[in-house]
């Protein structure tokens, strides 16, 4: 596939946005994003001047009407994920959740390391290392999936994102010792099985993943968004899958250093969720993991939400059927109190077919086929995004006007209470559905423990969401969505058709007759010293050109047996004389 072509457009003072497949909230988004990163099975894990949005209040938020009674019922509901938390002597954090619905156990382990921890020149290494974790360890030097299939594992995989790398599977209750043995062996003894051949093999696999992704429609968009929205040196300034050059540069010494630095028990969270008592799980985990040294202390970057000082715009050409507009703003990190308020903004604009942007662009004006609005948040920064896929013949300037009009209207007046209540009901419904699965509960407990140090962090996030009002949502929108933004417009390549009358290619055409040259008239004279002069008059430009030709050169060298003399003499002609300075 032909590589997309990027065209830079002028920058403007103002705001920014990005692409997501659906509206994402802080709590439901954690569940949805746990597997939306680069993984060992090939799912690698991510015109027009915008109207200015005033950062000053443009109008009072709408008065709060009576709440939807469904919201009150939800607030009174009791839903919980009870757990017991331990910290082993070697620093391993163990979280146990007992769920006896089925005789199975989910084992979910998170290492607090992702692409944001990669040093310069080693982008993509966290994901590459994740692949190596499935190639065997010192005491089981074989394909990890081969062993897990034999013990009846389901829902098994590993994923990498900007902040963490996780490995998970659900096994029959009787196979818990087996999976703990396997997981502890690769935590403590991976390097005994990694060699150059396996590194080269997985490097090739990852690079093929990268090619496959980039060769899909809009496949280079994410790379461009990351580069444009995060400054050089920011931990999120590169994609999880990395660059080909950096992947090629990965060495065995990098593998060893990465494992020794980041894969110790003190940098890991192990969740055991299912049909098991907490004290039994603790005893079994201590049995298999207790002997592993803790690993060195590591530091993590702090929250850094870079502000774009001005609106940035670019155009990319790709082999796609429809134009697409991506807008992105940098917004706060997961756990920030404004995050849930921006979730309400995303839902009001693009949460369903009746959301403001979707209804206007897709159903009323019928200039777009889809609208996606998201507010995905990560450990040190988040991004609010709007993505509109336009119809092939749509006026993209008018679509951008509509996007900014709807966003400005929401910032000026806030969402309605009905819009907020609808999002609360939808989000809580999704969270409750996730509580049916030990896999989802284990992932949720691990994620919030890693980010906030509290496995119950998801409940606090829901409380912030449920407490949202038109005024709090409006304030968050004004604070974050009136800053600089990034707009990327993807346009289809043109489709030029080759056309020419029939050509006889059996032989080359013979050249035609040589036309007579029409040389200008000239005058000649001979100076008193014998120099012949030729004058050709041309009055096209006010310039006089002088050229001197001497009847000598390289053959004269042969006569004097001093090769190079003619060349040296010629080079000295503009160096000056006894009566004239150099040219």
Q: Tens of pLDDT along the chain (583 residues)?
A: 434 444 433 333 333 223 233 333 455 455 444 433 444 443 333 333 333 433 344 444 445 566 777 777 776 777 789 999 999 999 999 999 999 999 999 999 999 999 999 999 999 999 999 999 999 999 999 999 999 999 999 999 999 999 999 999 999 999 999 999 999 999 999 999 999 999 999 999 999 999 999 999 999 999 999 999 999 999 999 999 999 999 999 999 999 999 999 999 999 999 999 999 999 999 999 999 999 999 999 999 999 999 997 899 999 999 999 999 999 999 999 999 999 999 999 999 999 999 999 999 999 999 999 999 999 999 999 999 999 999 999 999 999 999 999 999 999 999 999 999 999 999 998 898 888 899 999 999 999 999 999 999 999 999 999 999 999 999 999 999 999 999 999 999 976 666 666 788 888 888 888 778 777 888 999 999 999 999 998 887 778 888 888 888 777 777 666 778 888 888 888 878 888 886 6
**How many Cα atoms are found within 13 Å in the side-chain-facing hemisphere of 292?**
29
- Quote the longest CA-to-CA distance of the chain: 119
Listed residue (450, 380, 375, 308) closest to 115, CA to CA = 380
Q: Which residue has the tokens 């407490």?
A: 467
User: Containing H/E element for 107?
Assistant: strand 104-111
* Complete domains list, the chain, with CATH: 5-34+303-492 (3.30.830.10), 91-289 (3.30.830.10), 522-571 (no CATH)
Q: SS3 for 191-256, per residue? A: HHCCCHHHHHHHHHHHHHHHHHHHCCCCCCHHHHHHHHHCCCCCCCCCCCCCCHHHHHHCCHHHHH
Long-range contacts (CB closer than 8 Å, 24 or more residues apart) made by 184-189: 184/288, 184/289, 184/292, 185/137, 185/138, 185/139, 185/140, 186/133, 186/137, 186/144, 187/109, 187/263, 187/264, 187/265, 187/268, 187/289, 187/292, 188/289, 188/291, 188/292, 188/293, 189/137, 189/138, 189/139
**CA atoms of 367 and 448, how far apart (whole Å):** 40
pLDDT at 17: 29
pLDDT at 339: 96
pLDDT at 196: 96
Query: What SS3 class is residue 320?
Result: coil
Query: What SS3 class is residue 156?
Result: strand
Contacts (Cβ under 8 Å, ≥6 apart) of 573 = none
Q: Which residue has the tokens 């942007």?
A: 357
pLDDT at 566: 80
**CA atoms of 88 and 285, how far apart (whole Å):** 9
Q: Token pair of 274, please?
A: 């299912």
What is the pTM assigned to this prediction? 0.77
User: Containing H/E element for 349?
Assistant: helix 338-350
pLDDT at 146: 94
pLDDT at 555: 75
For residue 135, the tally of other CB atoms under 10 A from its CB is 21
Listed residue (398, 392, 408, 395) closest to 485, CA to CA = 408
pLDDT at 563: 78
pLDDT at 14: 31
Listed residue (496, 9, 38, 19) closest to 220, CA to CA = 19
Q: What does the DSSP 8-state code read for residue 362?
A: I
pLDDT at 500: 65
**How many Cα atoms are found within 13 Å in the side-chain-facing hemisphere of 268?**
31
pLDDT at 32: 42
pLDDT at 3: 44
Listed residue (275, 338, 272) closest to 303, CA to CA = 338
**CA atoms of 451 and 536, how far apart (whole Å):** 84
pLDDT at 452: 94
């Amino acid at each position: 596939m032909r590589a997309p072509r990027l065209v830079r457009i002028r920058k403007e003072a103002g705001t920014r946005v990005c692409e997501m497949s659906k509206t994402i909230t802080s709590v439901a988004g954690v569940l949805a994003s746990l597997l939306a990163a680069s993984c060992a099975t090939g799912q690698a894990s991510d015109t027009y001047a915008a109207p200015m949005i005033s950062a000053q209040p443009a109008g009072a938020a709408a008065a709060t009407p009576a709440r939807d009674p469904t919201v009150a019922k939800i607030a009174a509901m009791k839903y919980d994920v009870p757990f017991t938390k331990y910290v082993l002597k070697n620093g391993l954090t163990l979280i146990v959740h007992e769920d006896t619905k089925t005789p199975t156990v989910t084992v979910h382990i998170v290492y607090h390391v992702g692409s944001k921890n990669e040093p310069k020149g080693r982008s993509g290494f966290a994901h590459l290392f994740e692949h190596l974790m499935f190639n065997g360890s010192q005491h089981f030097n074989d394909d990890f999936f081969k062993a897990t299939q034999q013990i009846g594992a389901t829902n098994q995989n590993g994923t990498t994102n900007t902040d963490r790398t996780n490995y998970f599977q659900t096994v029959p209750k009787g196979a818990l010792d087996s999976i703990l043995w396997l997981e502890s062996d690769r935590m403590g003894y991976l390097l005994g099985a990694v060699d150059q051949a396996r590194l080269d093999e997985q490097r090739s696999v990852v690079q093929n993943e990268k090619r496959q992704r980039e060769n899909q429609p809009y496949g280079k968009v994410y790379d461009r968004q990351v580069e444009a929205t995060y400054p050089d040196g920011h931990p999120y300034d590169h994609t999880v899958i990395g660059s080909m050059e950096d992947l090629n540069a990965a060495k065995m010494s990098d593998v060893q250093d990465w494992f020794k630095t980041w894969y110790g028990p003190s940098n890991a969270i192990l969740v055991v969720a299912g049909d098991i008592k907490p004290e039994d799980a603790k005893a079994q985990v201590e049995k298999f993991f207790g002997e592993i040294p803790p690993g060195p202390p590591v530091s993590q970057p702090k929250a850094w939400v870079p502000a774009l000082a001005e609106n940035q715009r670019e155009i990319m050409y790709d082999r796609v059927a429809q134009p697409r507009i991506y807008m992105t703003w940098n917004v706060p990190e997961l756990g920030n109190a404004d995050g849930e308020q921006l979730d309400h903004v995303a839902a009001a604009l693009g949460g369903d077919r009746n959301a403001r942007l979707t209804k206007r662009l897709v159903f009323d004006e019928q200039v777009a086929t889809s609208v996606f609005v998201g507010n995905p948040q990560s450990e040190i920064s988040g991004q609010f995004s709007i993505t509109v896929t336009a119809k092939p013949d749509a006026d993209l300037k008018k679509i951008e006007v509509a996007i900014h009009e709807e966003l400005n209207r929401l910032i000026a007046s806030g969402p309605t209470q009905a819009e907020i209540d609808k999002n609360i009901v939808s989000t809580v419904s999704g969270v409750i559905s996730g509580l049916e699965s030990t896999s989802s509960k284990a992932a949720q407990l691990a994620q919030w423990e890693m980010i906030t140090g509290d496995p119950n962090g998801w409940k606090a996030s829901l409380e912030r969401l449920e407490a949202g009002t038109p005024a709090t949502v409006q304030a968050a929108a004004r604070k974050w969505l009136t800053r600089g933004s990034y707009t990327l417009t993807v346009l289809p390549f043109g489709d030029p058709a080759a056309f020419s009358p029939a050509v006889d290619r059996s032989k080359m055409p013979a050249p035609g007759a040589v036309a007579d040259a029409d040389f200008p008239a000239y005058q000649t004279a001979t100076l008193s010293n014998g120099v012949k002069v030729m004058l050709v008059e041309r009055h096209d430009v006010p310039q006089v050109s002088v050229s001197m030709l001497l009847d000598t050169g390289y053959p004269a060298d042969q006569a004097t047996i001093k090769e190079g003399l003619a060349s040296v003499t010629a080079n000295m002609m503009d160096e000056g004389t006894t009566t004239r300075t150099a040219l």
